[in-house]
Amino acid sequence: MEISEQNVKSKAHILCYSFAVQGHLNPILQFCKRLASKGLKVTLVSTISASSKLIKTQSCSPVDVELLDVDLRDIPKTSKECERDETQDYFEHYKTVVAPSLAAFIENQMSSNYPPKFLVYDSIIPWALDITKRFGIDGAPFFTQSWSCNTMYYQFYREKSKVNAFEDQAMVLLPSLPPLKINELPSFLNGSGTYPSLIDLCLNQFSNIEEVNWLFFSSFDKLEEEFGLANFLQPITWMATQLPVKAIGPTIPSKYLDNRLKNDKDYGLNLFKPNTETYLKWLDSKQPASVIYVSFGSLAALEKSQMEEIAWGLKNSNIFFLWVVRESESDKLPKNFSEETSEKGLVVSWCSQLEVLAHESVGCFMTHCGWNSTLEAVSVGVPMVAMPQWTDQPTNAKFIEDVWGVGMRARENGEGIVKREEIAVCIREVMEGERGKEIKRNSKKWKDLAKEAVDEGGSTDKNIQEFVAKLLYM
């Protein structure tokens, strides 16, 4: 059932709250746009500490963006910086200062011409549900990781004694999932015992999950169903027997999928400003599918030794490369590397990743396997070389290689370093090898299925439409 814009706007206003980091803002904002396209009045709320640097574009329209002016300390940026006490203190402080500000914002909205009927909140702040109840409105969490990964966290949440219990096991067997090696689990669950406060953060996403009627996550049904293994109930199917889960992705701009949302060509909120003229001109000068794009996201910080191995692996592959190295990481590059590789490569401090991935000259993506990056590559059909770092990334790499067949994992040596020889071999195999041909075919298949999910009548479109229809009668 399609809902008329005039009818919805007279009845329904929805708030969405995102944690203020790029990897959470992007998918939640795209969900906001999809909801607004159904006629809802939508307001995206975040905090001003990180968001004060946001670069806004017109593609946010017709979503209102509101920033809460709260006193927040800097967010720990990488696993290296996330000491136990520091991280735990930060999130306790975050709740202390954000919860009353969010409550005050909602209270103010309740007396407006369009009082909100619902709050979609970032799953890492489950206490937001308690705030909504004060005002008699409903709420639902939004998960920014794959549902396969969320399934693991949910199962560990239900039996916390299992955390760190797999140290001596060759394979881990969990309901609804394929057999996993220890290094294919999310890093918080692999028995190392590191970052206990972050383990709690991931598991506590499910602390009040029985109280909600909706759980939204950034993926699409078929991507979470494809194991090719007998006797396994897929994560989304299994979790649907436990909880009211709904896939509402891929959460990327419509231009790269169904193109049904007018002017939706980028995310619309950026913490970094790319120099588009430089890298697009360079890409335009290259042949189709001749470039490997390399990026490890907005937060990951690699060791200097690993950066050097990547650098020489790229050079030894003898394939054109575009490498994003944040300014804070640039001193880890080998001396004179950019000059020595100027005929084959370009190093930039930031870029519009989707614009690059969709460029016809890009034939492969070397990635840390963050979920947003993974979903972007799947959605535009770009094969991957996987180099996961931590959190959910090892699990995503497992699925990239063995479940969806859209890439290869570059494997570490015994010292935890991916060597230059391994990097060069993986690049050449994906770009030019026999295995690469199958990877390219699989990538094309998943690109088509991603578009099908969000297009009219697709699984994601139906899930969003169902939510909007029920929201009108709450």
Judgement on whether residues 239 and 297 belong to the same structural domain of the protein:
no
Which token pair is 174?
A: 């969990």
Judgement on whether residues 393 and 350 belong to the same structural domain of the protein:
yes
Q: What is the rounded average pLDDT of the residues 222-239?
A: 59
Q: How many CB atoms lie within 10 A of CB 290?
A: 15
pLDDT at res. 188:
79
pLDDT at res. 180:
87
Q: What is the rounded average pLDDT of the residues 313-334?
A: 95
Judgement on whether residues 219 and 359 belong to the same structural domain of the protein:
no
Give the C-alpha distances (Å, rounded to integers) separating 137 from 11, 15, 298, 326, 474: 14, 11, 34, 42, 9
pLDDT at res. 402:
94
Collapse the DSSP code of 16 into the 3-class scheme (helix H, G, I; strand E, B; otherwise coil) and give the result: strand
| Active centre residues (catalytic) | 24, 122
Judgement on whether residues 263 and 283 belong to the same structural domain of the protein:
no
Which token pair is 188?
A: 């918080």
What's the pLDDT tens digit per position in 99-129? 999 999 999 999 999 999 999 999 999 999 9
Helix H or strand E segment including 50: helix 48-51
269-270/55-56 β-pairing: antiparallel
| Cα(302)–Cα(323) distance, integer angstroms | 14
CATH of the domain at 142: 3.40.50.2000
pLDDT at res. 166:
57
**Range of 190-204, 226-240, 381-395 with top mean pLDDT:** 381-395
Q: What is the rounded average pLDDT of the residues 132-143?
A: 96
Q: What is the rounded average pLDDT of the residues 275-283?
A: 86
Task: Spell out a b/e string for 368-386, using b for 16 or more CB atoms within 10 Å of the CB, else e.
Answer: bbbbbbbbbbbbbbbbbbb
Judgement on whether residues 283 and 204 belong to the same structural domain of the protein:
no
| Cα(420)–Cα(318) distance, integer angstroms | 12
Judgement on whether residues 83 and 201 belong to the same structural domain of the protein:
yes
Which token pair is 444?
A: 């094309």
Number of domains in the chain: 2
Judgement on whether residues 228 and 84 belong to the same structural domain of the protein:
yes
Q: What is the mean pLDDT of the chain?
A: 86
Residue found by looking up tokens 């975050």 in the block: 94
407-409/384-386 β-pairing: parallel
Q: What is the rounded average pLDDT of the residues 373-398?
A: 96
Judgement on whether residues 262 and 290 belong to the same structural domain of the protein:
no
Which token pair is 423?
A: 């990097």
**Range of 22-36, 273-287, 298-312, 442-456 with top mean pLDDT:** 442-456
Query: Does the pLDDT at position 371 exceed 90?
Result: yes
What's the pLDDT tens digit per position in 64-107? 888 787 766 544 444 444 444 467 778 888 899 899 999 999 99
Judgement on whether residues 57 and 184 belong to the same structural domain of the protein:
yes
pLDDT at res. 229:
40
What's the pLDDT tens digit per position in 428-449? 999 999 999 999 999 999 999 9
Which token pair is 172?
A: 């881990």
Judgement on whether residues 42 and 131 belong to the same structural domain of the protein:
yes
Question: Does residue 357 contact residue 107 with C-beta atoms inside 8 Å?
Answer: no
Query: Does the pLDDT at position 212 exceed 80?
Result: yes
> Is the Cα dihedral 30, 35, 37, 39 positive or negative?
negative
pLDDT at res. 270:
72
Q: What one-character-per-residue DSSP string does 153-172 give?
A: HHHHHHTGGGTT--TT-SSB
Share of the chain above pLDDT 90, in %: 61
Q: What is the rounded average pLDDT of the residues 158-177?
A: 66
Residue span of the structural domain in which 355 resides: 274-449
Residue found by looking up tokens 């994560």 in the block: 235
Give the C-alpha distances (Å, rounded to integers) separating 340 from 192, 303, 314, 343: 39, 21, 12, 8
Judgement on whether residues 241 and 281 belong to the same structural domain of the protein:
no
| Cα(450)–Cα(442) distance, integer angstroms | 12
Counted residue by residue, the chain has a size of 474
Judgement on whether residues 371 and 280 belong to the same structural domain of the protein:
yes
Longest dimension (CA), the chain: 64
Give the C-alpha distances (Å, rounded to integers) separating 323 from 56, 192, 280, 286, 450: 25, 31, 13, 15, 26
